[in-house]
Structure 1
């Protein structure tokens, strides 16, 4: 097993509460969430406490994870429309239906 995978296992979601803002903890939370299904930028920020989800996605890709991106128009919590927002998913777990 590679050192990177071992590090990910050590930083599993069980040990990385949303208060833990280390990059390792954020990657672990995000990867676990991606294994459940697609996640958009706003949800990653709000639910996983990841301020820069795109940066964590790039790090996960650099580690060998096949993460795909779709661009959507989403509405934020204040009712503002944002075009070109990211929806991330593992290539083995594509979205079945996109709701914005």
Structure 2
């Protein structure tokens, strides 16, 4: 019989293996990474954290009250190809100052 998590149960970042693709586990890994490193881009979230749709997880974290800023820029993927409007996410006050 499979064990079920109780509603509202917190998922520990240390107990969320990369193969756990539940929304809770993905949000937990993403938030833990942002807290430790301050920022992450879409490519890193997919490659390092196994978060397939980082934008959706960021949306959910914002809905839970986390202040996360987004910067869209040009980045290269693992094969060296340029991609425009790739999101980099910043937690709280870690967002870079953009001149007005």
Alignment TM-score, normalising by the size of structure 2 = 0.83
Shift of 1:95: 4.8
Which structure has the larger Rg?
Answer: 2
Please name the residue that 1:29 is paired with: 29
CA distance in 1, matches of 2:32, 2:94: 12
Q: Unpaired segments of 5 or more residues in structure 2?
A: 1-6
- Conserved? CA contact 1:35–1:93, under 8 Å: no
**Superposed CA RMSD:** 1.8
The runs of 4+ residues in structure 1 deviating greater than 2 Å are 92-96
Alignment TM-score, normalising by the size of structure 1 = 0.83
Give deviations 1:12-70, integer Å, cap 9, x for gaps.
11111111000000000000011121100000000000010000000000011010000
- Listed as ranges, the matches of 1:1-100 within 5 Å are 7=9, 10-36=10-36, 37-95=38-96
How many pairs does the alignment contain? Answer: 90
CA distance in 1, matches of 2:14, 2:92: 24
Q: Unpaired segments of 5 or more residues in structure 1?
A: none
